[in-house]
A and B are shown apart, each in its own frame.
Chain A
Amino acid sequence: MGRYIIRRLVQAIPVLLGATLLVYAVVFALPGDPVEVLAGDKRMDPHITAVLRERYHLDDPFLLQYWHYLTGLFHGDLGVTVSGGSVSDILAGRFQVTANLAMTALVMEAVAGVGLGLYAALRHGRAQDSLVLAATLVLISIPPLVTGFVLQLLLGVRLKQAGIDLFPVAGLAEGWRGYLLPGLVLAGTSIAYLTRLTRTSLVETLRADYIRTAIAKGLPRRRVVGRHALRNALIPLVTYLGADFGTLMGGAVITETVFNLPGIGQQLFTSVSLREQPVVVGVVTLLVLVYVLANLVVDLLYAVLDPRIRYE
């Protein structure tokens, strides 16, 4: 187990380095004066230009620049904005909102995805199964951009007109309930994928020899499915869910914009329109970190769930 964990940690390092290098290179190594790119359309105060050149070590070779960026990253420093503010400070409060949103979506995804997948798998080949499959297809195909606005219209406006007030449709004025609708929208596509994955995984597991053994042991069907099959079918699902946390955080850009939630996704949207490159890079770097960490957690969970890996 120990060796497995260490190996995974070691494997994560080049991925982390490579991904941050890639992000950094895209913004700072593409042709054009980086400061000009940083400033975007705005006219630059020469003083700020000087500060930025200094701050980003722009006269150093590229790899050295990256090194400075990386060491800053280790100290929690994501750089400064054009106006001189700290990117880390701007994102600090917003990160929690996005994490809450992604967590809400993840819980919804897990409950709905595993539930629906289980339902379909246990009715494999029958009408209910086909119905669930068709529903997932539709769910996969409707972008969160669309579901967001449509649900906002239906639940927030039409139902409210009818006197039913289920969810707040924008902002966080009403506390955690404000996360419910955006969470559902963010989870939508993932629910569909997880449903399909659960279904496939369980159908495959139910064909395994050890399930035949469990039946031959005279175990009740509930125990055969709920314990022997599910425990095995769960392994790929956990992997998927963990990796999806990072994806959900990344997908928050559109959801937070549609629902006006003050998270890093909304900040990203604002910064893109204002062409505040340092913030854009900061958000993307942060999300890459979350993604790699989430995958690391998944690898460890995997070892807990699958003894064959634990004792490798």
Chain B
Amino acid sequence: MWRSSTAERDGRVPGGEALLTVDGLRVEFATRQGVVRAVNGVSYRIDPGETLAVLGESGSGKSVTAHAIMGLLDTPTVRVPAGEIRFHGTDLLGLREDDRARIRGRRIAMVFQDALSALNPVFTVGAQIGEMFRVHEGLSRREAERRAVELMDRVRIPAAAQRMYDYPHQFSGGMRQRIMIAMAIALGPELLIADEPTTALDVTVQAQIMDLLAELRRESGMAMILITHDLGVVADSADRIVVMYGGRVVESAPVHEVYQAPAHPYTRGLLESIPRLARKGRALPAIEGTPPDPLAMPTGCSFHPRCSYRQDNCVTDAPPRYRIGPTRDSACHYWREVLDGSHG
């Protein structure tokens, strides 16, 4: 079950136009206390032009998966013992470093959470954006600067022609994130990975950034993986949703189906903990318990210690990803009960 291809599981045509598939990916970190299995057999797929939301709390493995896609895990303490990441059918994990560098930034780009620390403090923003053109396209300094100003205009940074000579610390948080985005879309990538792009920002600015991303995506037709722990952000912007817990995918479905009726107890818990006006006056339910210790993952289904649907087999048997709809699956032995409960 785990090794079956994502395309089959998603019920979409095998060999269809998947842009990127992650298949059975495992990532391990060596720590002082032992090996942490940060990603433990993750599979998902994204089609061209699609927006996929990857949802989960910190430590669920969602960012590590993204880093694996970008090839940012190249440190001695990290191991990728199994899995494939295919981009247009080519396994990225099997590529030589210089071949990967050609894809990175040019065809797959990434926006990070904290733009202040993600931008180099000692170079002007113009130089940092222009660097994309200078390195990848060999443009002259002047030409690169011109393109950088264009991009800054495109992400709506006022007075771009002057501000390109400013340094990152001279911008506000929202403006810095716009600069990150400008840099990421510089070479027109086919896939943009946005790793919690709004978490570090004020609520009002968050909406502006999400709108900007949506607009850029509409204009360019690029696909986007939106990594977030905030279900509120997902509803308006994503086509599909992948929910991760404890280094695994627990539910994968079109967004509207999840909102209508979640098929995994964890997803359900997440949805119920969103504040809604309709529920005003009632206590906001929270998921009980704490996230799993990555050094001592629970046996069976890793969510079982916190699950109200738990039966004996949840403690012993890890659930497969049950196909529960044409483009939907859930890794819960009792997904039917969850689904029914959701409708009721």
Contact = CB atoms under 8 A, between A and B. Distances in A.
Interface stretch (B114-122, B147-155, B248-256, B286-294): B114-122
Interface string B120-135: 1111000000011001
Given A210-B120, A210-B121, A307-B122, A217 B112 contact: no
Given A232-B121, A305-B122, A219 B105 contact: yes
Nearest to B104: A218
Contacts of B76: 125
At the interface, is chain A mostly helix, strand, loop or mixed? helix
B135 A209 contact: no
Contacts of B70: 215-216
Contact of B120 (A125, A214, A215, A311): A214
Contacts of A235: 122
Contacts of A307: 121-122, 167, 169
Contacts of A75: none
A21 B281 CA distance: 72
A228 interface: yes
A61 interface: no
Interface in B91-126: 97-98, 101-106, 109-110, 112, 114, 117-123
B72 A311 contact: no
Interface in B224-275: none
A231 interface: yes
B163 to A, nearest CB: 13
B311 interface: no
B183 interface: yes
B170 interface: yes
B118 A210 contact: yes
B117 A217 contact: no
B136 interface: yes
Nearest to B113: A209
Q: Which of A209, A210, A232: most chain B Cβ within 10 A?
A: A210
A208 interface: yes
A67 to B, nearest CB: 45
A42 interface: no
B135 to A, nearest CB: 6
Contacts of A220: 98, 101, 135
B170 A311 contact: yes
Contact of B101 (A208, A209, A219): A219
A217 B104 contact: yes
Interface in A217-257: 217-221, 223, 228, 231-232, 235
A213 interface: yes
A3 interface: no
B105 A217 contact: yes
Nearest to A219: B135
B121 A308 contact: yes
B112 A311 contact: no
B169 A213 contact: no
Nearest to A310: B167
A280 B117 CA distance: 50
B122 A217 contact: no
Contact of A213 (B98, B101, B112, B170): B112
A165 interface: no
Contact of A209 (B98, B114, B183): B114
A158 interface: no
B118 A213 contact: yes
Interface residues of B, number: 33
Given A125-B76, A219-B105, A232 B117 contact: no
B254 to A, nearest CB: 29
A68 interface: no
A223 to B, nearest CB: 7
Nearest to A217: B105
Given A217-B105, A218-B101, A209 B121 contact: no
Contacts of A232: 120-122
A161 B131 CA distance: 57
Given A311-B167, A311-B170, A216 B105 contact: yes
B290 to A, nearest CB: 27
A218 B136 contact: yes
A212 interface: yes
Given A216-B109, A219-B135, A311-B170, A209 B104 contact: no
A129 to B, nearest CB: 12
Contacts of B122: 231-232, 235, 305-307
Nearest to B129: A217
Q: Which of B97, B103, B104: most chain A Cβ within 10 A?
A: B104
Interface string B161-182: 0000001011000000000100
Nearest to A305: B122
A208 B112 CA distance: 13
Given A228-B120, A308-B121, A217 B167 contact: no
B112 A212 contact: yes
Contacts of B117: 208-210
A6 B102 CA distance: 48
Nearest to A208: B117
B132 A217 contact: yes
B167 A212 contact: no
Contacts of A311: 167, 169-170
Contacts of B135: 217-220, 223
Nearest to A209: B117
Contacts of A231: 120, 122-123
Contact of A210 (B97, B101, B119, B169): B119
Interface of B: 70-72, 74, 76, 97-98, 101-106, 109-110, 112, 114, 117-123, 131-132, 135-136, 167, 169-170, 180, 183
Interface of A: 125, 208-210, 212-221, 223, 228, 231-232, 235, 305-308, 311
5 contacts: A212-B112, A213-B180, A231-B122, A306-B122, A311-B167
Which 7 A-B residue pairings sit nearest by Cβ, starting from the closest?
Answer: A218-B105, A218-B104, A209-B117, A210-B120, A217-B105, A307-B167, A209-B118
